[in-house]
Amino acid sequence: MTKEISLPVLILHHALPCLLFLLLGVSNAASELEDYQTYIIRMDHSHKPASFLTHESWHRSVLKTLSYPANDEEMMLYSYNHVIHGFSARLTALQLSEIEKSSAHLATYPESFGKLFTTHSPKFLGLKGKSGLLPAASYGEGIIIGIIDTGIWPESDSFNDRGMPPVPERWKGQCENGTAFSPSVCNKKLIGARSFSKGLQAAGINISKEYDYNSTRDFFGHGTHTSSTAAGNHVPGVSHFGYARGTARGVAPRAHVAMYKVLWATDTEKSAASDVLAGMDQAIADGVDVMSLSLGFGQTPFFKDVIAIGSLSAIRKGIVVVCAAGNDGGRQTIYNGAPWITTVGAGTLDRSFHSTITLDNGLTFKGISYFPQSVYIADAPLYYGKDDLNKATCNLGALNPDEVAGKVVICDNTTKIDVYGQMEEVDRVGAHAAIFLTDTSDLYSDDYSIPSLTLPTSSGILIREYVTGRKKPMLKTMRFVLTELGTKPAPQVASFSSRGPDPISPGILKPDILAPGVDVLAAVAPNIPYMEMGNYELVTDYALYSGTSMAAPHVAGVAALLKAVHQDWSPAAIRSAIMTAAYTIDNTGSILKDENTGLLATPLDFGAGHINPSKAMDPGLIYDINFQDYVEFLCGLGYNEKQMKIVLQQSQWNCSQEPTDLNYPSFIAIFTNETVKNFSRVVTYVGEKEASYRAFLDCPMGMKIRAEPSILTFTEKYQKQAFVLSVEIDGNAPGMIYGNLKWIDQHNHTVSSPIVAIKT
């Protein structure tokens, strides 16, 4: 497993964790009269005087009219034209109050900061080169994926342009010059590279070469990893220090990549919301088709969530927006839950990494290991501190170098390993290798400073019997760098993946979908050591990362493939196809399980299920949503006029007199005193032949489900049919219960939707 690393405002759930922005105001000394602070200012664009040709000229004029104005070039950071209407600027409290008195002012957001969350996976997704979605989509040819992240390492072979088509003529982006980054490194694969750091620097946080490059070049490696996961070109013979060896390629290997660097590795590990918003704004202007964000702000209403607002602007222009769900792991921890965003949780792959040990009595055990060398240890003495519980668990400072130097130490744990204690301890005392007996290891791939592996405590019984029954227990052999495919059960819901229900909008089931997010091999930046071993620092250009940050670009890549096949589909149609084609059965024939508990997971954990790209290409039916549907959804949230203006970025809208359901491909019913909930849906037929769909309902005890009508007949493509789903629970139903609706036709299409009922 790879460690969840915290970096700037990002939920970089790569067990490297996805950008979680903490709303912190940062003051910046700038005036003798008063301190300046950065604010994002939302303006009602309908108030722009006709005398101003552009919104930016209007915004600058507003700043020039303030009391004690500085030069507007110094005050203004960004003027936004696509994600929102407004600007970000450094203002005093007095200047801010003057702007807020204007009738054109809609909202103010103090600058916010946060931290980063964070070859086999395309095959695991069923993406094969000769059939299915991948060749049908020409491998994503002509589609542009915009990645909002930490930058990119352009020299990585994943971004070579062998076999790539020309840059689309509609592309308006560019590659910027900067520190250690020349526009000449861009090509037909990497067609855009821009960086945004004005907000960060306005807060007094400097970008120095010690911590990052003042350009689009990736210092940390996260953006390189997500980009190559979504759309990396074919690169044979790569591995993580020998593990997972094979050909690396992105989900859409012929799609173009545009990087928008908004996250920075600084001495204070911060990134600014104003920069993230500027990156999204530019991506829309440049003409991306898909936008992937492994980041997000805190859980806040949509009218305060700049990612939600900016994403709605992108959706309105036909851009598919994919975001990581977060790495908090518990209930109600979802980020990026707006219904116009495709929200992605993380699942495991059917691949594991091992070491084997054989004792001199012939017993052999296989354990988990990421030790980055093909080491072979033979005929080594074993050490087990059985006379002292503290020694047996290898607690920090417990071992005596004179007793254990040169031996293989057994660390007996009934709970989890203390990464920074026990591994450090066996390394400190000069142990030859270590065996950790535990069921809940939190060792990560960069923690293996000496040869070591973890074994389940069930294996510990036999090992303890052996070492306590021999005067000189010996390890016969210990082997490393073993990769195993077909691991069962898989996929599972990753332990760190955020779960629903969404606290902001519990009436929409989130996450939407599960995708590979554990031990994903992809390109990284080789500029900094991945780990240390003794006196050596190890670097690599491909590494295993984990997190919902890794899951999101998988879905972005699939969205690119679907968009290449179905160019007229809306973002909602693409999400619907992905969701209704998902599967919920693992490779043992069981409902998907929770990696942490081993128990059956629920749609609150995995949404519609695990992504199944090739079936999504021909879903049969789609649940489409247009912009007015989102307006109706927002009307139903009870927002006031000003809050609606903020989210919709328009002065006028129409709300129906009666509440309407959002035409979502999943169902969640929140029960208080009532026992019956009805949902209205409309499905659009996207098949080629006449078809008749029959409703099949999975109803657990305590729940009744009825679809009316139960048969939907279609005689032509794009024909629409409405139905009502009724969900009823009885008094004995548990607090959370779920079922399923499947529409099945005679052409072997299955259109599946989860149904969740929660009693409050």
Query: To 5 degrees, how large is the angle CA 282–CA 541–CA 435?
Result: 125
Sheet containing strand 736-744, strands side by side: 667-671, 750-759, 736-744, 691-698, 711-714
Q: Which of 13-17, 25-29, 476-480, 682-686 has the highest mean pLDDT?
A: 682-686
45 is catalytic: no
The string of pLDDT tens digits covering residues 139-184 is: 899 999 999 999 999 999 999 999 999 999 999 999 999 999 999 9
Domain ranges of the chain: 29-111, 116-349+499-533+547-616, 351-485, 621-625+662-759
Q: How far apart are CA 122 and CA 134, in angstroms?
A: 10
C-alpha pair distances (Å), 376 with each of 240, 355, 357, 451, 478: 18, 10, 10, 10, 6
Question: Do residues 1 and 445 touch, judged by C-beta distance below 8 A?
Answer: yes
Please report the sign of the dihedral spanned by the C-alpha atoms of residue 530, residue 531, residue 532, residue 533. Answer: negative
Whether 719 shows a pLDDT value over 90: the answer reads yes
pLDDT of residue 499: 97
What stretch of H or E contains 745? none
Taking residues 679-706, report their average pLDDT: 96
pLDDT of residue 58: 95
Q: Of 13, 59, 79, 149, which one is the catalytic site residue?
A: 149
Question: Do residues 60 and 122 touch, judged by C-beta distance below 8 A?
Answer: no
Q: How far apart are CA 324 and CA 669, in angstroms?
A: 24
Question: Do residues 138 and 254 touch, judged by C-beta distance below 8 A?
Answer: yes
C-alpha pair distances (Å), 265 with each of 11, 14, 212, 578, 705: 14, 15, 6, 34, 51
624 is catalytic: no
Please report the sign of the dihedral spanned by the C-alpha atoms of residue 668, residue 674, residue 676, residue 678. Answer: negative
- State the virtual CA torsion across 611, 614, 615, 617 in degrees, nearest 10: 110
Question: Do residues 555 and 344 touch, judged by C-beta distance below 8 A?
Answer: yes
Question: Do residues 144 and 258 touch, judged by C-beta distance below 8 A?
Answer: yes
Beta bridge partners of 353: 483
Q: How far apart are CA 293 and CA 19, in angstroms?
A: 8
Taking residues 518-540, report their average pLDDT: 86
Query: To 5 degrees, how large is the angle CA 651–CA 653–CA 658?
Result: 150
Burial class of 656 by CB neighbour count within 10 A (0 to 12, 13 to 18, 19+): exposed
Burial class of 558 by CB neighbour count within 10 A (0 to 12, 13 to 18, 19+): buried
Three-state DSSP state, 220: coil
pLDDT of residue 30: 36
432 is catalytic: no
Whether 389 shows a pLDDT value over 70: the answer reads no
Fold for the domain defined by 29-111: Alpha-Beta Plaits (3.30.70)
> What is the 3 state secondary structure string of 575-587?
HHHHHHCCECECC
Select from 322, 292, 290 the least CA-distant residue to 143. 290
pLDDT of residue 391: 64
Tokens, residue 487? 């691991």
CATH of 621-625+662-759, one of 3.40.50.880, 3.40.50.300, 3.20.20.70, 2.60.40.2310: 2.60.40.2310
pLDDT of residue 461: 86
Question: Do residues 76 and 89 touch, judged by C-beta distance below 8 A?
Answer: yes
pLDDT of residue 414: 63
Tokens, residue 200? 């960060």
User: Is residue 236 reached through a cis peptide bond, with omega within 30 degrees of 0 on the bond before it?
Assistant: no
pLDDT of residue 230: 97
Taking residues 510-538, report their average pLDDT: 89
Confidence of residue 760 (pLDDT cuts 50, 70, 90): confident
Q: Of 85, 222, 225, 354, which one is the catalytic site residue?
A: 222
What type of residue sits at position 549?
A: S
Q: Of 215, 355, 369, 549, which one is the catalytic site residue?
A: 549
Rg of the chain's alpha carbons, rounded to an integer? 27
Q: How far apart are CA 38 and CA 49, in angstroms?
A: 25
Whether 431 shows a pLDDT value over 50: the answer reads yes
State in Å, rounded, how far the first CA of the chain is from the last one.
Answer: 36
pLDDT of residue 275: 94
Q: How far apart are CA 407 and CA 478, in angstroms?
A: 12
Residue predicted with more confidence, 134 or 257: 257
Q: How far apart are CA 175 and CA 202, in angstroms?
A: 24
Q: Does domain 116-349+499-533+547-616 have CATH number 3.20.20.10?
A: no
Q: How far apart are CA 11 and CA 550, in angstroms?
A: 11
Confidence of residue 390 (pLDDT cuts 50, 70, 90): low
Q: Does domain 351-485 have CATH number 3.40.50.300?
A: no
Select from 647, 641, 343, 639 the least CA-distant residue to 508. 343
Tell me the average pLDDT of the chain.
89
Q: Which of these ranges, 291-305, 441-455, 576-590, 620-634, has the smallest mean pLDDT?
A: 441-455
Q: How far apart are CA 438 and CA 443, in angstroms?
A: 11
Confidence of residue 20 (pLDDT cuts 50, 70, 90): very low
Whether 24 shows a pLDDT value over 60: the answer reads no
